[in-house]
Amino acid sequence: MQSIWIFLLLIRGPECTSGSVSRLLTVQTGGSVVIPCYYERKYTEHKKYWCFDDSAAFNFCSILAYANETKGKVSVIDHQDQSFFTVTMRNLQNDDTGSYWCAVEIEGILQKDETEQLHLTVQSAPDVSVVSSSVSGHEGGNVRVQCFYSSGYQNKTKQWCRYKDQGCYTEKRTDTSQNPSVQISDDGRSSFTVLMTGLRLSDSGWYWCSAGDLQVPVQLMVNEPKHAVTNVPTATPSDAETDMYTTPTSAEDFNRNPTSMNKIIHMTAANISTATPSD
């Protein structure tokens, strides 16, 4: 039987203060979730898949979908240019709670598939959540993300982390030495807010907000800055053009500017001389 090797993701970064053997995600009953799964660039052309086993045993893992296909309420899309694939699960129910794996298929006898284990909990009221799993901003601008947590997580450490390099920012540790700078403020009751300033295009990607060991994925999209539209001045006719097309309305106007009247008379006469008589 082909041996199985389970890669347990350790969350480590420049500011991370805690770790876990797998991602622990929560989502609301009836809701959806998008999960990013990163892999090494050397596996770009390999098959990727998403599988599930509620007993947390990978050797009994049931493949739900391969990359770039949709089966039931699961869709998997491979972003090869960025070395990750995303898993979208819709209309989640309580029986969807369990262990899942991001997996890269490695062909050959005794070869081990590259895997990352996650545990998903479906709840009527998730312990950690966000209003939107996708936010956007402009280069040089700011973006805010509000992350909510239940009462049981009030005293847990709050973090904002990036999937790509697993670097994390922790509450009460504002990092202004880098661009963007990141600030995390916790109201101590039910939510904390992440403020990113001085955004760069390269900051686009997947992040997660966490309270304790629970995480919620959030996608950040940074767009080109908006450029102000320059008002184009309206062309003003010259005095000569004004004279040509302004018709005197009284004898006083004619006496004040007889030249314009002469131009109109000459133009009218020219039009009459070139007109073709009707039948």
Integer Cα distance of 175 and 184 in angstroms? 10
Would 160 be classed as within a structural domain? yes
Q: What is the mean pLDDT of residues 243-251?
A: 41
- Asked whether residue 118 falls in the same domain as residue 144, the answer is no
- Asked whether residue 90 falls in the same domain as residue 119, the answer is yes
Q: How confident is the model at residue 59 (pLDDT cuts 50, 70, 90)?
A: confident
What is the predicted pLDDT for the residue at 175? 53
Q: How confident is the model at residue 31 (pLDDT cuts 50, 70, 90)?
A: very high
Would 159 be classed as within a structural domain? yes
Integer Cα distance of 25 and 246 in angstroms? 76
Residue 244 has pLDDT above 90, yes or no: no
Burial class (CB in 10 A: 0-12, 13-18, 19+), 140: middle
Would 3 be classed as within a structural domain? no
Distances (CA, A) of 16 to 103, 157, 160: 25, 10, 9
DSSP-assigned beta bridge partners for residue 63: 51
- Asked whether residue 87 falls in the same domain as residue 111, the answer is yes
- Asked whether residue 249 falls in the same domain as residue 205, the answer is no
Side by side, which strands form the sheet with 181-186? Answer: 128-130, 143-149, 191-197, 181-186
What is the predicted pLDDT for the residue at 26? 93
- Asked whether residue 138 falls in the same domain as residue 118, the answer is no
Exposure b/e, 98-112, CB count within 10 A at least 16 = b: ebbbbbbebeeeeee
**Helix ranges, 91-249 (H):** 239-245
Tokens of 146: 């509000």
Q: Of the residues 69, 89, 123, which one is the last residue of a structural domain?
A: 123
Number of domains the chain contains: 3
Integer Cα distance of 196 and 209 in angstroms? 13
**Helix ranges, the chain (H):** 239-245, 251-256, 258-274
Distances (CA, A) of 146 to 94, 190, 192, 194, 195: 25, 10, 6, 6, 9
Residue 141 has pLDDT above 50, yes or no: yes
Query: Which pTM does this prediction carry?
Result: 0.70
Residue 52 has pLDDT above 80, yes or no: yes
Q: Of the residues 64, 92, 123, which one is the last residue of a structural domain?
A: 123
- Asked whether residue 110 falls in the same domain as residue 97, the answer is yes
3-state secondary structure of 271: helix
Residue that the structure tokens 């949709």 belong to: 70
Q: Domain of 34? A: 23-123
Integer Cα distance of 24 and 45 in angstroms? 28
Residue 242 has pLDDT above 90, yes or no: no
Residue 232 has pLDDT above 80, yes or no: no
- Asked whether residue 116 falls in the same domain as residue 29, the answer is yes
Give the H or E element holding residue 71: strand 69-71
- Asked whether residue 119 falls in the same domain as residue 136, the answer is no
Backbone angles phi, psi at 227, to 5 degrees: -100, 140
Q: Picking from 69-73, 76-80, 231-235, which range would have the lowest pLDDT averaged per residue?
A: 231-235
User: How do beta strands 134-138 and 74-79 pair?
Assistant: unpaired
Residue 48 has pLDDT above 80, yes or no: yes
Percent of the chain with pLDDT over 70: 70
Residue 272 has pLDDT above 60, yes or no: no
Distances (CA, A) of 106 to 4, 111, 167: 11, 6, 28
Per the prediction, the chain carries an average pLDDT of 78
CB 206, CB 218: distance < 8 Å? yes
DSSP-assigned beta bridge partners for residue 50: 65, 102
Would 214 be classed as within a structural domain? yes
Task: Identify the CATH number of the domain in which residue 102 sits.
Answer: 2.60.40.10
What is the predicted pLDDT for the residue at 123? 95
Would 264 be classed as within a structural domain? yes
Give the chain's largest Cα–Cα span: 110
- Asked whether residue 43 falls in the same domain as residue 108, the answer is yes
Q: What angle do CA 216, 96, 218 make, to 5 degrees?
A: 15
Question: pLDDT digits over 99-125, tens only?
Answer: 999 999 998 766 789 999 999 999 999
The separation between the first and the last C-alpha atoms of the chain, rounded to the nearest angstrom, is 101
CB 189, CB 148: distance < 8 Å? no
Q: Picking from 62-76, 81-95, 133-147, 258-272, which range would have the lowest pLDDT averaged per residue?
A: 258-272
Would 188 be classed as within a structural domain? yes
- Asked whether residue 94 falls in the same domain as residue 116, the answer is yes
What is the predicted pLDDT for the residue at 208? 96
Q: How confident is the model at residue 223 (pLDDT cuts 50, 70, 90)?
A: very high
- Asked whether residue 56 falls in the same domain as residue 139, the answer is no
- Asked whether residue 111 falls in the same domain as residue 142, the answer is no
Would 228 be classed as within a structural domain? no
Residue 73 has pLDDT above 50, yes or no: yes
Would 275 be classed as within a structural domain? no
Question: pLDDT digits over 148-199, tens only?
Answer: 999 999 999 999 999 988 899 998 655 555 556 899 999 999 999 999 999 9
Q: Of the residues 123, 146, 162, which one is the last residue of a structural domain?
A: 123
